[in-house]
Chains A and B, each alone.
Chain A
């Protein structure tokens, strides 16, 4: 059909290959590579977004600024707490739900669909719903907890530091556990059933079958999932910002919000960029870890 008309010159394979990859390379350089390089460059400059073209080189000053800032370390600490508790809950709940959804029952695909859906719900939507449900005076959560007698007084979910942290963790777990379920479920479906039948014949109980067959088979996918989720969760912005704006006070700040506030509220884009560079270092370490696991898995398969 096309390319057989006389107007188009017959391209060599190599030329076609390069022609096909050029749009990707251009987009990747302009909208990915360049911004990352810019982010690193800005970390060494004093950048005021209101005065473009007046950037001055200040060496490592931005890094000294953030490392001297107690709020930076608080943010770092809170981000770690947030990440570890989110990942722990996501993994445990995710594996449990994946096992449940793996049982061959009629209509199981409907349940699978419903339990995976939160993953694609916009964070803005979840944040809106959370603010409404967890509203201390008129929210349904406090009302329900009171009516079943679990609490006497209203809990201020979003305006006390501990509870605000717990609420953002809940939001994060609700939205991203499906990611763990998807990955684990995909792996579960590849485990040969013969293994279980053989173990049953040998008299292994349900727990032994889980510990001796399922867990070892899931090990690889769990490592990948945990590494992936840790990298992303540590650097998440919207999940916290939309719910608490980092508050009350600065009690739910993480590095992403710290960087955002430095750039937008304080107009110190260089300081924000220096924070971004610190985030990128973590990212790189995590990615190297991921690629190692990935390569390792590939070699094992071969």
Chain B
């Protein structure tokens, strides 16, 4: 409640001041992303212009076109392929690979962790108390420790240079946290409704499907977002597990653009934007769940 004595004018000034601070901070923090968007929309001639322009004087999709149609541009019949020019001809395959491994690993992580978390919070057996804590410990292990032993596992399974190695590798990173998050979530869902349905004669599977899953939806969404971010953003696993250029995901793929003699910054920034867009879209749709889920998972357990 605001005191009546406080003058309205002072309040207005204070608010205006806060907006100015907010706008400034937001601009500063968003600037790197704005700058990459701006660079990516400039024609090659304007990218190095001084003074640099935040709003391009001429908008151009040149950079995006060479990412998407790069293949045709670089493989003109009769010319020889020049590896030193860091051609973008694989961009679309990299994009597709990223989407495939992201969806695959998210699906596995979410299904496996939801089932396990439900089981751990609803049934009694040996180990149900400490499995979640072990899982949390697994979440702390950084990927640099896992990557080489996991690579040897993939060699044994015959999965190296195969997108499955990435799917399973990402599951190994995201599953422990998804499990912890779903476990925390299921603990918070009252058991009475399920028990009532069970007493009324519904089967366990039916109760799970029709009562538990809808109630767990916010947790499931948060877990899915987390897994997607893990898979979409990884660099290290893809760098070690995959060795043919067409099978790379975006993260490792675009770093190949650095290998040319001249770095094409416009191309670079266009791929940065293309890599960020799916996440930006996801973020807009589910921001609410993200904050709720991470708040619950990371702080409260």
Chain A residues in the interface with B (C-beta under 8 A): 1-4, 10-11, 13-14, 16-21, 23-25, 27-28, 30-32, 34-36, 38-39, 42, 49, 52, 97, 100, 103, 105, 108-109, 111-118, 120-126, 128-130, 132-133, 138, 140, 143, 147, 174, 179, 182-183, 185-187, 197, 200, 221, 224-225, 228, 231-232, 235-238, 242, 256, 259-260, 263, 269, 272-273, 276, 279-280, 283-284, 286-287, 291, 294, 298
Please, what's the 1-or-0 string for B235-257, where 1 marks a CB less than 8 Å from any CB in chain A?
11000000000000011001100
Q: Is the Cβ of B276 less than 8 Å from the Cβ of A121?
A: yes
Shortest Cβ distance from B102 into chain A, in angstroms? 11
Please indicate the chain B residues that have their CB under 8 angstroms from the CB of A259 in the complex. Answer: 144-145
Q: Is the Cβ of B150 less than 8 Å from the Cβ of A128?
A: no
- Bound Cα distance from A21 to B265, whole angstroms: 49
Q: Is the Cβ of A38 less than 8 Å from the Cβ of B152?
A: yes
Interface positions of B from 117 to 158, Cβ below 8 Å from A: 118-120, 122-125, 131, 133-138, 140-146, 148-150, 152-153, 155
Q: Find A31's partner among B172, B283, B299 (CB 8 Å cutoff).
A: B172
Q: Find B204's partner among A13, A182, A256 (CB 8 Å cutoff).
A: A13
In the complex, the 5 A-B pairs of residues with the closest C-beta atoms, listed nearest first? A17-B123, A186-B295, A24-B116, A38-B149, A20-B119
Q: Is the Cβ of A32 less than 8 Å from the Cβ of B33?
A: no
Q: Is the Cβ of B148 less than 8 Å from the Cβ of A42?
A: yes
Q: List 8 A-B contacts (CB under 8 A).
A: A21-B116, A21-B119, A24-B179, A112-B287, A113-B283, A116-B287, A124-B233, A128-B272
Q: Is the Cβ of B50 less than 8 Å from the Cβ of A143?
A: yes
Shortest Cβ distance from A295 into chain B, in angstroms? 10
Size category, B interface: 35 or more
Q: Is the Cβ of A31 less than 8 Å from the Cβ of B148?
A: no
Chain B residues in the interface with A (C-beta under 8 A): 1, 3, 15, 18-19, 21-22, 25-26, 29-30, 32-33, 35-36, 39, 48, 50-52, 108, 111-113, 115-116, 118-120, 122-125, 131, 133-138, 140-146, 148-150, 152-153, 155, 168-169, 171-172, 175-176, 179, 203-206, 209, 229, 232-233, 235-236, 250-251, 254-255, 265, 268-269, 271-272, 275-276, 279-280, 283-284, 287, 290-291, 294-296, 298-299, 301
Please indicate the chain B residues that have their CB under 8 angstroms from the CB of A242 in the complex. Answer: 235, 255
Q: If the complex has contacts A1-B209, A129-B269, are A238 and B35 also in contact, measured as CB distance less than 8 A?
A: no
Shortest Cβ distance from B28 into chain A, in angstroms? 10
- Bound Cα distance from A260 to B172, whole angstroms: 19
